[in-house]
Amino acid sequence: MTAIQPVEKTRTRDLIAAAKKKETFGKLVPHLLLAVTCVTILATFGIVFTLLKETFTFFSQVKVTDFLFGTEWAPFSNAAPAFGVLPLVVGTLKIAIVALLVSVPAGLACALFLSEYASPKVKKLIKPVIELLAGIPTIVYGFFALTFVTPWLQSFIPALKLFNALSAGIVVGIMILPMIVSLSEDALSAVPASFREGSYALGSTKFETAVKVVFPAAISGIAASVILAASRAIGETMIVSLAAGSTPAFNLDLTGSIQTMTSYIVQVATGDAGYGTTIYYSIYAVGFTLFLFTFAMNRIALFIKTKFREEY
């Protein structure tokens, strides 16, 4: 017994020391996580502060009303530079609307098929292929729009220009398709099986159950996915820079060259304007406008998801 006692004491001391180390580490973890969270928050505030600071500098040189309500965007004009942002906003909305017209019907149809009709084996095969679209670089999408989609559309629409809003919007719609499919399918799959069984018990067909029971029950998640996809389309850069052109146009024509807010930022950021000029500061004003668009879309998506979410 006397030979075993020192060993037991050593083991006890080791266990106590290990417990103290775990306790110390456990106390440090919340502080480390808080520090990481603070860095993220500070980065967000830093970005917003930079945008606001440079935007105010721009508005010290250009009237706010001229910027918000002007219908001509010609910052590089030597005679009379114009900084009316509406042509850029209209160009951005053209791309977003065409993209949603392409992606929403196709995306919801795919989501319904995967959720209600596809077998587990087929679903396991198809869903990763659709989500693979999200991994393609946007510059590849841009060249695809320019070299394939536009020539193909020109065979149906001879008046279609090489750079146009239609082909760029279609390809942006293909790009955001995985987001709608994935999020909508998750929302549809979350609807309890008892909803479907009750519908079948009342004599409904599988299609009627999917459209009239499952779809309405998942509407909050579906609507949120569409709005988030629209926000992604509004902020797209490379596809519109390559395929849509760089001509600000305040009209509803989809066959001609346009310029979006993001493509203008790319144009100026590549060195077309000197530092400290009005044109240089205009990219921050346009960027802040784009930030307000995407922020509003995200808040709407969050509101819809919270307001109309079903508790199962």
Query: What DSSP designation does 136 have?
Result: S
Position 94 scores a pLDDT of: 93
Position 1 scores a pLDDT of: 46
Q: How far apart are CA 75 and CA 156, in angstroms?
A: 35
Position 14 scores a pLDDT of: 63
Position 89 scores a pLDDT of: 92
Position 311 scores a pLDDT of: 58
Reported residue count of the chain is: 312
Q: How far apart are CA 44 and CA 53, in angstroms?
A: 14
Position 148 scores a pLDDT of: 92
The residue whose two tokens read 């609807």 is 191
Q: How far apart are CA 150 and CA 155, in angstroms?
A: 9
Query: What DSSP designation does 120 have?
Result: H
CATH number of the 73-307 domain: 1.10.3720.10
pLDDT tens per residue across all 312 residues of the chain: 445 555 565 666 666 666 666 666 667 778 788 888 888 888 888 888 888 888 898 888 888 888 888 888 888 877 788 888 899 999 999 999 999 999 999 999 999 988 888 888 888 888 888 888 888 888 999 999 989 999 999 888 888 898 899 999 999 999 999 999 988 888 888 888 888 888 888 888 888 888 888 888 888 888 888 988 998 899 888 889 888 888 888 888 888 889 899 888 888 877 666 777 888 888 899 989 998 888 888 888 777 777 666 655
List the domain boundaries for the chain: 5-60, 73-307
Backbone angles phi, psi at 83, to 5 degrees: -125, 45
Residues 6+ apart with CB under 8 A from 161: 245, 255, 256, 257
Torsion sign (Cα): 129, 135, 141, 143: negative
Backbone angles phi, psi at 74, to 5 degrees: -140, 70
Q: Are 142 and 239 in contact (CB under 8 A)?
A: yes
pTM of the model: 0.83
Q: Are 185 and 106 in contact (CB under 8 A)?
A: no
